[in-house]
Every structure is written in C-alpha cells, then in structure tokens.
Amino acid sequence: MKVTIRQIAEAAGVSRGTVDRVLNNRGKVRPEVEERVRKIADELGYKPNLLGRALIKMKEDIKIGVIIQNTGTPFISTVSDGISRAKAEVENFGGTVYVHPVDYGNVDQMLYAMNEMKEYGVRGLALMPIDDEKIRKVINRFSAEYHIPVVTLNADIADTSRICFVGQNAEQSGQTAAGLMCDVLNGHPKKIAIISGIESNTSLSRRIRGFRKEMGLLSADTILLPTKYCFEDDKTSETIITNILREHSDLDGVYITSHGEKGICDGIKKLGKTGKIKIITCDLSEQNYEYLKTDEIKLIIGQDGVYQGYESVMVLYRLLFNNEKPEQEYNYTEIVIKTKYNI
C-alpha cells in the first residue's frame, strides 16, 4: 500500500506541510524535526512520486519573455492587463514571465530586449514586433539556433518562423471600416482621409490595405487621400487633420487606424465641422465612448486587447509545459463594432 504524506505527518506528530517541505527539500524545518520525519518515512517505506517531482521541476524551469511596444495608449493598457493575468497564472505554477516594454517603433531597443531575453534563459518569447529586417532575422535565429519558439501578438511579421500570431485580422478590420464608411455616407463617399500611427506596425498597415482595397470595390469614385502618420500623438493628429481640412474642405470622412482620436476630434471641432465629417476609429476606450455619445466619432471597430496579451503567453506555456502546439497559426480576435447605442 502506498504510504502518504498524511501517514508520515501523523506518525511524526507534525503537519503535512512540514512533511512536504522535508521530502521536497523546501527548507524552513528544524534539523531535529527533519531528521525525525525522514527516519519515519524510511521506516514506513515511503516512495517519492518521481513524476510529480519531474512536473514541478519542469514548471520551475519555464521562463517566458514578453516584449511589447509601449505606446502609452488605452489599448496597450488592455494588452498589458492580459499579460499580467497570464504572468500571475504561470508564476503561480512556479514559472517565470519577464516583461520588457520598448518605445514605440524603436528597433534598437527591441533588438536589445530580445538579447536580454536570451540572456535570461527564456524558453519562449511573445513579441509585438516591428516590421524591420533586423527584427525578422533575430526572430528566425531564436527558432533555428536557440530553439526558442516565438509568438507574435497584436502585429504580425512576414517571412519568419514564429509559431503563431494572436491578434486581430487587421485587413478584415480595414475592409469592415470601408463597408461601414460607405453605409454611414449613403453609399457614395466623395473624399476620405486616412490617419495612422507608424508605417512599421503591420497591424496598422494591413488595416489601411484592407480599407483601400474594399473601398475601391464598393465606391471606385471615392478619393482616398494619402495616408498620414501621427505616431499615436494627439497634437500631431490635430495638426494633420487641420492641414487636411484647409486643403480639402469637402472632406466626408476620416478613418483612424490608431490612437490619436482626441487630436482629430479637437481639430474638427475648432473648424466647426463636428458631426459633418464621419469618423471611424479602432480603439475601444472610455474616451472614445464619450466621443460616440456626442457623435464626434460615428463608429468604433474594436479588438480584444486583454485576450491578445493573455493568450500569447499561455500559448507558450502550454507548449513548454505539455508540448501542446497551437491549434492554428492565426488566432484571430473578434472584430467588435460599437455605436453610441451599444456601449
């Protein structure tokens, strides 16, 4: 019959926790108590659970790295919340999650952070990548040379050996925005401005691509102005929209693929065009919900940032702990449409 920790504890006159600490070498037990527990365990014929110990050791060895681009936006805060939840779960099981934010679009910082993660001994890396050839090469080196699997989150990167992507289908999001823009402008928009964050964010560039492609199919006569980049900064976005409206007073709509909504709404308001220009944006935030209520923003196309942060870490944990491979290469989040009537 298998000898249990409870039987040893009763025979030694100590708690089960004390027996567990002695048998698993966790310390914090007086030497004379430890000696008594080990002697009784031997007399009763206790056999350690080698599989259980192996699992504990495996969990302790799991180190996961996370690198995100810190834009300071409400959306990134939701991604960070998801990462924090996953970190708490992994570390509750004895693993470790290192989180390293880098400045938005800063390639050198990201390369440094990736090297730091390798030095930490991570066995998996979740990465919000920058679309840059040097980043691409290091991702492939992680896989081929270091045997460290990489999961991309929020933004994907082509021609790499990353194992899967967790985030929105950005091109489909852009197509959705085009369809909605046509609907709110009665099917025939005359002129649309597109304002984005930075060119090196593939999620943003794919939204633009989807929007332009679908708008061309739905309303070929619509003039789509060249994309302007605000670097997710409200002052910059206000300057951009002000300059656009001075040159294009007949503007019908604005598609915003990134943060910068406040600057755009402020610029439009100062020129007395609130409500006349239809705005579709992409961030679910309390600020944007207020703009919906006042009709300064017409529609929001959102994504689940918490899930992106959480699942990108947990995909790696399941792979490292139980060799559970991702079920699919593209783990897309739901495309959520918000109006003032459903917030």
pLDDT at 6: 83
Q: How many CB atoms lie within 10 A of CB 104?
A: 23
pLDDT at 1: 62
pLDDT at 46: 82
Cα Rg of the chain (Å, integer): 27
Helix (H) or strand (E) holding 217: helix 202-218
- Give me the residues of the chain with pLDDT under 50, please: 51
Are residues 222 and 188 in contact, defined by beta-carbon separation less than 8 angstroms?
Answer: yes
pLDDT at 57: 53
Q: What share of the chain is helix, strand, coil (3-state, %, to 5)?
A: 50, 15, 35
Q: Which letter, b or e, does each residue of 241-272 get, where b requires 16 or more Cβ atoms within 10 Å of its Cβ?
A: bbebbeeeeebbbbbbbbbbbbbbbbbbeeee
Q: Any idea of the CA torsion for 158, 153, 75, 80, to the nearest 10 degrees?
A: -150
Q: How far is CA 276 from CA 165, 185, 240, 251, in A?
A: 38, 10, 18, 9
Task: Show Cβ contacts of residue 315 under 8 Å, excluding neighbours closer than 6 positions.
Answer: 126, 151, 163, 164, 166, 326, 331
Output the CA torsion sign for 61, 62, 68, 70: negative
Q: Please give the model's pTM, rounded to 2 decimal places.
A: 0.80
pLDDT at 190: 94
Distance CA 250, CA 94 (A): 60
Q: Name residue, tokens 């030497």.
A: 31
Distance CA 155, CA 201 (A): 7
Beta-strand pair 63-70/96-103: parallel
Which DSSP letter does residue 192 get? E
- Sorted by where each starts, the structural domains of the chain and their CATH numbers stand as 5-48 (1.10.260.40), 60-167+305-333 (3.40.50.2300), 170-302 (3.40.50.2300)
Candidates 93, 54, 53, 101; CA nearest to 76 is 101
pLDDT at 59: 55
